[in-house]
Amino acid sequence: MTRKSATASIEVGVDPLIAFQAFTEEIGQWWVPGPINAWDSARAVTKRIEPGVGGRFLEVYDDTTGDALELGRITVWEPGARLVYRSSVDATEVDVRFEAIDSGTRVRVEHYLLPGGEVGEGSLFWPNVLHWLESWCARRDAATSPEPRQLARLSAALYYEDPAAAARWLAKVFGLTSWDRIPAEGAQPSWIELHVGNVAVLLFPLAGKRSADEPVTHEMWVYVDDLDAHHARATGHGATIVSEIQQHGYRAYTARDLEAHQWTFIQASPAMP
């Protein structure tokens, strides 16, 4: 009988031993924080994998006291080749393999249901998060340690008829970034999270079509390091400029995105981190 499983693979530009090290020792660096990426996001501060067979995969709540949730126990530990852990929170197992290729390493994960087990929708989650490792391996040599990967205390939500297209446009034209990834052409994820610094901008699908006389009421204000360069980037990509750069005690300009939300970009002060 074929077991229920979900698989994914990525290619990273480092050798298998480094890829294994990045996956295990640096998981706290590349695991994306957020309200749906933890068992208890209100308490979670990082993820950690203890080395060797019998080591634990942990969601850490307090480094001082050692308070943590055991997510799994390692059953296979072969640095540069393979890692397997059995979940401690549901009836699944995760098998991660590292294969040398010309460009570096192919990392393949299989997340599968154990015989006789039952899990809810979304439990076989590893194929949905493996690509976070890919982006980490691409920047790990230049990254500061530790990276500022905690979300701010305020997030904003915007609704679009096509959130995926909006995400691509906002990344290209306004320079918004993602700790996850920008959806590719044809992809329609239900949850898209972009970032300005550590502030999350959440993009959700609009219910139905926005009527021609329905105003778009939400406006974003974003502080940028170089207002003139940002204005040049936006105009170079064809953004509609509502008001050019002006001085009002602050220097700012306003532009519309592809679905008519207005964005005001302001020159950040030297005192603003």
Phi, psi of 140 (to 5 degrees): -65, -35
Average pLDDT of span 227-233: 97
Q: How confident is the model at residue 214 (pLDDT cuts 50, 70, 90)?
A: low
131-167 pLDDT, tens digit per residue, is 999 989 988 887 655 555 677 888 899 999 999 999 9
Q: Whole-angstrom Cα distance, residue 133 to residue 23? A: 7
Q: Which pLDDT score is estimated for 48?
A: 96
Q: Which pLDDT score is estimated for 6?
A: 92
Looking at the structure, do residues 13 and 86 belong to the same domain, yes or no?
Answer: yes
* Domain end (from 111, 139, 167): 139
Range of lowest pLDDT (102-106, 173-177, 182-186, 238-242) = 182-186
Q: pTM score, two decimals?
A: 0.72
| Range of the structural domain that residue 237 is part of | 156-267
Please report whether residue 146 resides in a domain. Answer: no
Q: Whole-angstrom Cα distance, residue 121 to residue 125? A: 9
Count other Cβ atoms within 10 Å, centred on residue 103.
10
Count other Cβ atoms within 10 Å, centred on residue 189.
15
Query: How many distinct structural domains can be found in the chain?
Result: 2
Looking at the structure, do residues 13 and 135 belong to the same domain, yes or no?
Answer: yes
Does the pLDDT of residue 232 top 90, yes or no? yes
11-40 pLDDT, tens digit per residue, is 999 999 999 999 999 999 999 887 778 899
Q: Whole-angstrom Cα distance, residue 33 to residue 248? A: 36
Looking at the structure, do residues 182 and 258 belong to the same domain, yes or no?
Answer: yes
Q: What percent of the chain has pLDDT over 70?
A: 93
Looking at the structure, do residues 168 and 133 belong to the same domain, yes or no?
Answer: no
Task: Note whether 203 and 195 are within 8 A (CB).
Answer: no
Beta bridge partners of 201: 156, 194
Task: Note whether 4 and 113 are within 8 A (CB).
Answer: yes
Looking at the structure, do residues 160 and 211 belong to the same domain, yes or no?
Answer: yes
* Domain end (from 109, 139, 169): 139
Looking at the structure, do residues 120 and 173 belong to the same domain, yes or no?
Answer: no
Q: How confident is the model at residue 186 (pLDDT cuts 50, 70, 90)?
A: confident
Ramachandran bin of 212, using left for φ above 0, alpha for ψ from -120 to 50, beta for the remaining angles = alpha
* Domain end (from 139, 168, 201): 139
Looking at the structure, do residues 134 and 160 belong to the same domain, yes or no?
Answer: no
Looking at the structure, do residues 129 and 186 belong to the same domain, yes or no?
Answer: no
Please report whether residue 28 resides in a domain. Answer: yes
Here the CATH number for the domain that contains residue 228 is 3.10.180.10
Q: Which pLDDT score is estimated for 134?
A: 92
Looking at the structure, do residues 92 and 188 belong to the same domain, yes or no?
Answer: no
The segment with the largest mean pLDDT, out of 126-130, 191-195, 226-230, is 226-230
Query: Both tokens of residue 78?
Result: 């072969």
Looking at the structure, do residues 184 and 128 belong to the same domain, yes or no?
Answer: no
